[in-house]
Amino acid sequence: MTVTRDEPDTVRSTPRPSGAWRPGDPVGQRRFVAVGDVPLERGGVVPEVVVAYETWGTLDADGGNAVLVEHALTGDSHVVGPAGPGHPSPGWWEGLVGPGRPLDTDRWFVVAANVLGGCQGTTGPASPTRDGRPWGGRFPFVTVRDQVQVEARLADALGIRRWAGVVGGSMGGMRAVEWAVTHPERVARLMVLASTAAATADQIAWAQPQLLAIREDPDFRGGDYYDAVRGPEAGLGIARRIAHVTYRSGEELDERFGRAAQGGEQPLGAGGRYAVESYLDHHAGKLARRFDANAYVVLTEAMSSHDVGRDRGGVPAALARVTATTTVLGVDSDRLYPVRLSEELAAGVPGARLATISSRHGHDGFLVEVDQVGAHLRALLDEPPATAQRSV
Ligand SMILES: CC(=O)SCCNC(=O)CCNC(=O)[C@H](O)C(C)(C)COP(=O)(O)OP(=O)(O)OC[C@H]1O[C@@H](n2cnc3c(N)ncnc32)[C@H](O)[C@@H]1OP(=O)(O)O
Ligand SMILES: N[C@@H](CCO)C(=O)O
């Protein structure tokens, strides 16, 4: 496996989204709350779960202005703001949260939490168990429904009975739709981006070689590598390469990289790489430095098991329970969560509005096209909250 390293961007890079965090904008402060023992859908219990979360803005006295932002697979609670203590990376949705921004912190109390099974503060495979050792390979199978159960406990702890909005993309969109189906009375507005009501065979298929790459890495050691000199960074890097290709459109890769060789290296065939290979190596190395392989496995398996219709009479019956004012957004170039999945979601949620984000960036368009996302978010939040509370 090629060892990855930081290289200069020798090929045209994506312009950064407008409206990055500015000095003076609110800085989310990471906090932790204990939410107790969590029984799991597939059996077993995760004892003494701790949730890491950040907030921006001020909660109304009646707790009615809270908006939950749900992160995707490798995101975390740090939606906006500079890197710093507890935040190895800058925010993943810069430009969306702050005074006057679509998630206007003069009006909304914005909450984002790291997911159950993750690796950025919330209980996950690297967390210690009661015997003092990390969970490692013993961490149980969790579902998106389990993750939402934990977030509901966070909402209870914060005094939020009903979210003014729940917003999420990709894996975050899975949690958002699961929230609106499980707790329709607690979600006034819903925005689901580049996501699906149930994982498709295609998505499960793309996940399988990623899981194998990690599990077959000899340094994975069945998930018990925390005390070892080396962890399964090579396997995690391969998983990220596979995933990253599915996150971008083929047209974008062709336009940006073509058949160019990576500059400053040996010629192709003599140790050099294609620029697109160097780009994938870069993203692989970056993820391997900031993410835990066990968490990647746990969260990927949770995504593959996602089905809001499970034990609810199927997807249409489940989606019919939603009472939130809903916007569903697909990205026109997304090959992993194609627009037809957004269409199916929108068709199933009563009164949902469907829109398309125009982007050459594929699935990652929901992260990159901040201005388009922001316009839809602002419009949704300006709508009166859903009042209908259909009995379920
Ligand atoms: C900013 C963060 O890392 S936030 C971390 C928290 N988690 C997340 O954000 C998860 C979601 N985020 C992501 O998945 C990604 O970071 C995205 C979607 C935001 C990336 O989207 P884009 O902004 O379009 O980045 P893009 O795919 O163009 O990659 C740019 C990077 O590739 C590098 N690159 C471009 N071409 C090449 C090349 N030929 N060889 C090597 N590296 C290259 C650039 O130098 C740049 O590096 P940097 O990110 O370290 O500055
Ligand atoms: N690039 C995103 C896409 C997942 O949907 C992430 O890493 O979280």
The residue-averaged pLDDT of 164-175 equals 98
Q: What is the pLDDT of residues 325-360, one digit of tens each?
A: 999 999 999 999 999 999 999 999 999 999 999 999
CB-defined site of ligand 2, < 6 Å? 72-75, 170-171, 247, 363-364
Residue 58 included in any domain: yes
Tell me: do 132 and 218 sit in the same domain.
no
Instruction: Tell me the H-state helices in 216-292.
Output: 233-247, 250-257, 275-290
Give 4's pLDDT tier (boundaries 50, 70, 90).
very low
Do 225 and 350 fall into the same domain? no
Mean pLDDT of the chain: 92
- Cα(12) to centroid of ligand 1, in Å? 12
Q: At what angle do helices 293-304 and 201-215 cross, to 10 degrees?
A: 160
- Band of residue 218 on the pLDDT scale cut at 50, 70, 90: very high
Are 96 and 238 within one domain?
no
- Is the CB of 11 within 6 Å of ligand 1? yes
Task: State the distance from the centre of ligand 2 to the C-alpha of 392, rounded, in angstroms.
Answer: 33
Q: What total number of domains does the chain contain? A: 2
Residues 298-312 have pLDDT tens digits of 999 999 999 999 999
Kindly give, in sequence order, each residue whose CB lies less than 8 Å from that of residue 340, ignoring residues fewer than 6 positions away: none
Enumerate residues 6+ apart whose C-beta is below 8 A from 371.
17, 18, 19, 95
Q: Are 54 and 103 in contact (CB under 8 A)?
A: no
189 and 99 housed in the same domain? yes
Output the pLDDT for position 25.
55
How would residue 182 be classed by pLDDT, with cut points 50, 70 and 90? very high
What is the structure's pLDDT at 18? 39
Does residue 214 sit in the same domain as residue 185?
Answer: no
Question: Is the confidence at residue 2, as pLDDT, over 60?
Answer: no
Domain end point (choices 254, 270, 303): 303
pLDDT at site 389: 53
List the binding residues for substrate.
240, 364
Q: So what's the pLDDT on residue 24?
A: 54
Domain of residue 362 covers 31-199+307-382
End-of-domain residue from the set 303, 332, 366 = 303
Tell me how far the alpha carbon of residue 30 lies from the centroid of ligand 2, in angstroms. Answer: 21
Instruction: Report percent pLDDT > 70 for the chain.
Output: 91
Q: Decide: 51 and 113 in contact? Cβ < 8 Å.
A: yes
ipTM of the shown complex: 0.94
Shortest-distance Cα residue to atom 25 of ligand 1: 14
216 and 296: one domain? Answer: yes
Assess whether 70 and 104 both reside in one domain: yes
235 and 114 inside one domain: no
- For residue 185, give the DSSP letter: G
pLDDT band at 386 (very low <50, low <70, confident <90, very high): confident
Is residue 155 pLDDT above 60, yes or no?
yes
Structure tokens at 275: 């620029």
User: Does residue 207 register a pLDDT over 60?
Assistant: yes
Residues labelled catalytic: 170, 334, 363
Instruction: Report the Cα 8 to chain-centroid distance in Å.
Output: 27
Say what the pLDDT of residue 44 is: 95
Question: What is the mean predicted confidence (pLDDT) over 218-226?
Answer: 98
| Tens of pLDDT, residues 65-121 | 999 999 999 999 999 998 876 677 889 999 999 999 999 999 999 999 999 999 999
Residues 166 and 284 in one domain: no
* Predicted confidence (pLDDT) per residue in 237-272, tens digit: 999 999 999 999 999 999 999 999 999 999 999 999
